[in-house]
A = this chain, B = another copy of it.
Amino acid sequence: MQETILSYSDLFRFTQSVFENIGCPTGDAVLATTVLLSADVRGIDSHGVARLTGYVRLYEAGRINPTPNVRIIHETLSTATVDGDKGLGLVVAPKAMQIAIDKAKLAGTGWVSVKNSNHYGIAGYHAMMALQQDMIGISMTNASALVAPTFSTERMLGTNPICVAIPAGEQPPFVADMATTTAANGKLEILQRKGGEAPLGWVQDKVGQATPDAHALKTGGALLPLGSDRDHGSHKGYALGSIVDIFSAVLSGASYGPWAPPFPAYVPMPQNMPGEGLGHFFGAMRVDAFRPAEEFKQHMDNWINRFRNATPADPAQPVLIPGDPEREMAAIRMQTGIPLHEAVVADLKALSDKLKIEFNY
């Protein structure tokens, strides 16, 4: 695989210019770029600049409003429903998360359900916004249907991720950011490019049989919920993905289940959509709404230390705390740059030519 390494700042400049080019005000372009690149920095390559042309195509298809009026349409002391006004999810989501944080300052917790949005980057960025405020952050989103429920051959749910970010004291925060499927779609895409076989339990074929074929989704197959099969708890992964779908879309008035709008602009929109756009759900809980923040953080340090020192099966592979791999990757990539797959570089080059934006690679 051919890779090109770009610095964070070069990639930032280019990406910001692209968002400005499609009409985003500078503040929003900076925000969208920060959110998008947080994926590349943390090593979640499928959700970063690899998707930049996808966002531009959605804009060209009239599905993204570059100057949205992101507004609260319903609220209580601790909740709000937000209309994203077809804005970039990369902009709508952090604004909605900020509303959750502001609610939590007054009411102890804040909970925001969002409709009329689209792909919001990595769940982790938004949840982690709460950490600087000594709050626990929660973020989830529905997504285009790729996942079959237990006992089904039909794609009914997205990979519907959940992130929970919990502050600690001396220790880095606990950040669990995960698709509710056995494997994220990005991992399958890597196997597709490499021509490798998927472990059994990641995907099924069109009749519902487990298959190692990484391309099974192109022939009527589906991703499998966390748990893989009924014996191993796939009904739990299906339930988790469903909860994300309902909190994000049924609570807010977005489109849910198989009606969630697809990310690729060339895929036709589903018929008879029951809501508007994609949905997200955010939560912020002040830790001092439960016990003094310093006390909580000391116990989180103790929790993290204890788990990090749990007896390993193999001394060469110690037990990890959720968020460890992404944080370590971020430290490396901010220093040495972000490696981009040749297909991504070609995509960005084409974008550069089309939009007449300089791209130094």
Q: Are B77 and A151 in contact (CB under 8 A)?
A: no
Verify if A174 is at the interface (C-beta below 8 Å from B).
yes
In the assembled complex, A350 has its CB within 8 A of some CB on chain B = no
Q: Chain B's nearest CB lies how many Å from the CB of A220?
A: 11
Residues on the B chain within 8 Å of A232, using CB = 182-183, 199, 201-202, 228, 232
Contacts of A314 in B (CB 8 A): 151, 208
When the two chains form their complex, are residues A289 and B79 in contact, meaning their CB atoms are under 8 A apart? yes
Distance in angstroms between the alpha carbons of A318 and B243 in the assembled complex: 20
- Residues of B within 8 Å of A78, CB to CB, are 77-78, 107-109, 289
Residues of chain B within 8 A of A253, CB atoms compared:
291, 295
Q: Is the CB of B303 within 8 A of A250?
A: yes
Complex contact B176–A310 (CB within 8 A): no
B251 touches A291 (CB 8 A): yes
Most chain B CB within 10 A, of A74, A75, A149, A150, is at A149
Cβ contacts under 8 Å, A207 to chain B: 313
The residue that A246 contacts in the complex, of B111, B174, B238, B251, with Cβ under 8 A, is: B174
In the assembled complex, the CB of A167 is this many whole angstroms from the nearest CB of chain B, namely 11
Chain B residues in 8 Å Cβ range of A295: 253
Instruction: Please report which residues of chain A, range 50-89, place their CB below 8 angstroms from some CB of chain B when the two chains form the complex.
Output: 74-79, 81
Q: Are B320 and A108 in contact (CB under 8 A)?
A: no
- Check B256–A153 contact: CB distance below 8 A: no
Contact residues, A297-355 vs B (CB, 8 A): 299-300, 302-303, 306-307, 310-314, 317-320, 322
CA distance in complex: A314, B77 (Å): 47
Please tell me if A38 contacts chain B, counting CB pairs below 8 Å.
Answer: no
* A17 in the interface (beta carbon within 8 A): no
Question: Are A318 and B151 touching (Cβ within 8 A)?
Answer: yes
A172 to chain B, nearest CB (A): 15
A77–B108 CB distance below 8 A: yes
Asked whether A76 lies within 8 Å of B108 as measured between CB atoms, the reply is yes
| Interface presence of A235 (CB below 8 A) | yes
Cβ contact of A109, chosen from B109, B231, B250, B274, cutoff 8 A: B109
Q: How distant is A346 from chain B, measured CB to nearest CB, in Å?
A: 31
- Would you give the shortest CB distance from A288 to chain B, in whole angstroms? 9
Chain B residue with the shortest CB-CB distance to A227: B226
**Of the candidates B149, B183, B250, B287, which one forms a contact with A251 in the assembled complex, judged by CB atoms under 8 Å apart?**
B287
Q: Are A149 and B307 within 8 A (Cβ)?
A: yes
Which residues on the B side are within 8 Å of A237 (C-beta)? 226
> A25 vs B256: C-alpha distance in the bound complex, in angstroms?
47
Within 8 Å of chain B (Cβ to Cβ): is A191? no
Contact A320 B76 (CB under 8 A): no
Contacts of A239 in B (CB 8 A): 164, 176, 178, 322
Q: How far is the CB of A312 from chain B (nearest CB, A)?
A: 6
A159 to chain B, nearest CB (A): 12
Indicate with 1 or 0, residue by residue over A249-283, a CB within 8 angstroms of chain B CB atoms. Answer: 01111001110000000000000001100000000
Known: A256-B299, A289-B79, A312-B151. A242 touches B108 (CB 8 A): no
The answer to whether B152 and A311 have CB atoms under 8 Å apart is yes
Given contacts A77-B77, A274-B299, 10 further A-B contacts (CB under 8 A): A78-B78, A78-B109, A178-B239, A201-B231, A226-B237, A228-B228, A232-B232, A252-B290, A256-B303, A257-B307
